[in-house]
Amino acid sequence: MSDSLSFTRKEFPFLRRQIDGNQIIYLDSASTAPKPQCVIDAVAQVYNDTTANVHRGIHTIADEATTAYENARREIASFLNASPSEIIFTRNATEGINIVANGMRLLPDDEVVLTVAEHHSNYLPWRLRAKVVPVGLSPDGLPLYQDVESVLSPRTKLLTLAHVSNTTGIIAPVEQWVENAHRRGHPVLIDASQSASHLPLDVRTMDCDFLVLSGHKLMGPSGTGILYGKRERLANLSLYQSGGGMVRYHGEARFEVQDVPQRFEAGTPNIEGAIGLGVAVAWLRNLGMSKVLAHSQSLGAQLFEGLSTIPGIRIVASSAPIEKRIGLVSFNLDTPGFSQDSLARLLCDRYQILVGGGYHCAHILHHRLGLDGTLRISTQLFNTHEEIEIVLSALRELTSGTNCR
């Protein structure tokens, strides 16, 4: 098994971090991803050289800052095959979803179709405003995506789903949902928080109406996110926040709001964050997202197959085929004496292997499966097959009561 992207490891200073004198193995990128040096440098450069507000100042440095900020928007648009005017900078994916949920003027009886595997951020904003209607779930935790048509009704207003689930690591059939929704005139919002750093995205091919992503999972700075929307869909959303930057004219008698995207970017944005995110996606595009996907799936297959052979391990959505998986697997361990949290802690304290533990903001999925949390191993392009072998050995040792490191 080749590690075709292992040359990128040197770009991530964080991967050199040690705990107790041992180098860490980072397998928690679904929570947040380390940043390559070029992103760190881009953020530092804004502070060192280009500290000025955007779309406001009338001096050379303000022009430079505005150009860098808008270039970042263009980079992100190219990454998604969108137009820059369809790209809104947000604080995170959560804010992007809230902008849409707030802007659709939903009524309590309106229905939003989703899956019970959605992250809280793609569940609660809908639940607070409308009735959520999930598709069914298989006994092992795989949403019955194919049944979407059976839950659509005259009250359906929107369909939404994670492109890749942050708990199962399964790539959803978004095209099928979009086709079903569009046949009836409903919009679709894709939550690409977990997919954007693992597989190529093309909003034109997907034909989704909205798509959100989270900058920090995409190796960009924290406090950044993107809301993509088709222009007419964005223009129909009611305002989210108001203030400086989103208004074209403000007189005593009336005010005039800017067009999208500025319409949804009230206040001073996270300038250095947006610029850093632009650098992150340019870096990823340069590596080639098809290569990134191939590596993610190769790590995912090794992980899934290895975990499947360890007695007591129950993998969430184990029935999904290997070609629908990225390098992310969640599982529960039926071994007396271990909670999911204690196992995650042991992996860190004894082996310096960092993984996720708990509900991963997907309480409803866990409740439906009767699980008191799961352990999540999530890879990123810099992880190697050797690292997967180390975590599998560690789990074999912990579950059989022996010790190796």
Ligand X SMILES: Cc1ncc(COP(=O)(O)O)c(C=O)c1O
Give the residue with the Cβ less far from ligand X, 122 or 297. Answer: 122
Among 8, 121, 298, 352, binds ligand X (CB under 6 A): 121
Burial class (CB in 10 A: 0-12, 13-18, 19+), 151: middle
Could you tell me which stretch among 11-19, 115-123, 254-262, 323-331 binds ligand X (CB under 6 A)? 115-123
Among 122, 330, 332, 352, binds ligand X (CB under 6 A): 122
Mark 177-215 as b/e (b = at least 16 C-beta within 10 Å).
bbebbeeeebbbbbbbbbbbbbbbbebeebebbbbbbbb
**Secondary structure (3-state) at 116:** coil
Q: What is the rounded distance in angstroms from the CA atom of residue 323 to the CA atom of residue 297? A: 7
Beta bridge partners of 354: 26
Nearest to 219 by CA among 97, 42, 52: 42
Residue 320 structure tokens:
């999904």
- Contact string (CB under 6 A) for ligand X, positions 338-377, x = contact: -----------------------x----------------
DSSP string spanning 13-70? Answer: GGGG-EETTEE-EE-BTTT-----HHHHHHHHHHHHH----SSS--SHHHHHHHHHHH
CB of 312 to ligand X, least distance (A): 27
* Dihedral of the alpha carbons of 319, 325, 328, 330, in degrees to the nearest 10: -10
CB of 186 to ligand X, least distance (A): 21
Could you tell me which stretch among 87-95, 123-131, 366-374, 384-392 binds ligand X (CB under 6 A)? 87-95
Q: Which of residues 179-208 bind ligand X (CB under 6 A)?
A: 191, 193-194
Could you tell me which stretch among 119-127, 141-149, 250-258, 313-321 binds ligand X (CB under 6 A)? 119-127
- By CB under 6 A, is residue 94 in contact with ligand X? yes
Using CB under 6 A as the binding criterion, the count of chain residues that bind ligand X stands at 14
- By CB under 6 A, is residue 178 in contact with ligand X? no
Could you tell me which stretch among 69-77, 90-98, 99-107, 240-248 binds ligand X (CB under 6 A)? 90-98
Among 35, 119, 186, 230, binds ligand X (CB under 6 A): 119
Give the residue with the Cβ less far from ligand X, 66 or 380. Answer: 380
Residue 2 structure tokens:
């080749």
Give the residue with the Cβ less far from ligand X, 160 or 297. Answer: 160
Query: Which residue numbers are catalytic?
Result: 361
**Pair 329, 377: CB distance under 8 Å:** yes
Among 8, 29, 160, 166, binds ligand X (CB under 6 A): 166
* Dihedral of the alpha carbons of 237, 217, 379, 317, in degrees to the nearest 10: -30
- By CB under 6 A, is residue 233 in contact with ligand X? no
Secondary structure E strands in 122-168: 131-134, 156-162
Give the residue with the Cβ less far from ligand X, 88 or 394. Answer: 88
Asked if omega into 200 is within 30° of 0 (cis), the reply is no
- Contact string (CB under 6 A) for ligand X, positions 47-86, x = contact: ----------------------------------------
- By CB under 6 A, is residue 214 in contact with ligand X? yes
Q: What is the rounded distance in angstroms from the CA atom of residue 286 to the CA atom of residue 7? A: 14
- By CB under 6 A, is residue 93 in contact with ligand X? yes
All residues at 6 or more sequence positions from 126 whose CB lies less than 8 Å from its CB, including other chains: 101, 106, 112, 114, 132, 158, 160
Which residue ranges make up the site for ligand X (CB under 6 A)? 92-94, 119, 121-122, 162, 166, 191, 193-194, 214, 225, 361
